[in-house]
Amino acid sequence: MPGPRYGSRQGAEVKAKRLLGAHVSTAGGLQKSLERARALQCNCMQVFTGNPRGWSGAPVAKAAARAFREAAPVFGVKTVIIHAIYLVNPASPKAEVRRKSLVCLRRDLVSAGRLGASGVVLHPGSDLGDRQGEQRLLTALQQLLPAVPAGCRLLLEGMAGTKNSIGTLEAVGRLARQAGEKIGVCLDSAHLCAAGYDLQTADGFARFVKDVKKHIGFARVGCIHVNDSKHPCGSRRDHHENLGEGYVTARGLRNLLHFHPFRALPFIMETPGFDQLGPDRKNMRRLKKYAG
Task: Label residue 25 left, alpha or beta by phi (over 0 means left) and psi (-120 to 50 means alpha).
Answer: beta
pLDDT in tens, 175-207: 999 999 999 999 999 999 999 999 999 999 999
Question: How would DSSP label each residue in 209-221?
Answer: HHHHHHHT-GGGE
Domain positions in the chain are 9-291
For residue 140, which of 167, 100, 174, 108 has the smallest C-alpha distance?
100
Percent with pLDDT over 70 in the chain:
95
Helices marked H in 40-132: 62-71, 95-115
CATH 3.30.70.100 fits 9-291, yes or no: no
User: What is the band of 17 on the pLDDT scale with cuts at 50, 70, 90?
Assistant: confident
Cβ(155)–Cβ(121) under 8 Å?
yes
User: What is the band of 143 on the pLDDT scale with cuts at 50, 70, 90?
Assistant: very high
Q: Dmax of the chain from CA atoms?
A: 57
pLDDT in tens, 264-292: 999 999 999 999 999 999 999 999 999 99
Does the pTM surpass 0.85? The reply is yes
Residue 211: burial class (beta carbons within 10 Å; 0-12, 13-18, 19+): middle
- Work out the average pLDDT over 217-236: 98
User: What is the band of 11 on the pLDDT scale with cuts at 50, 70, 90?
Assistant: very low
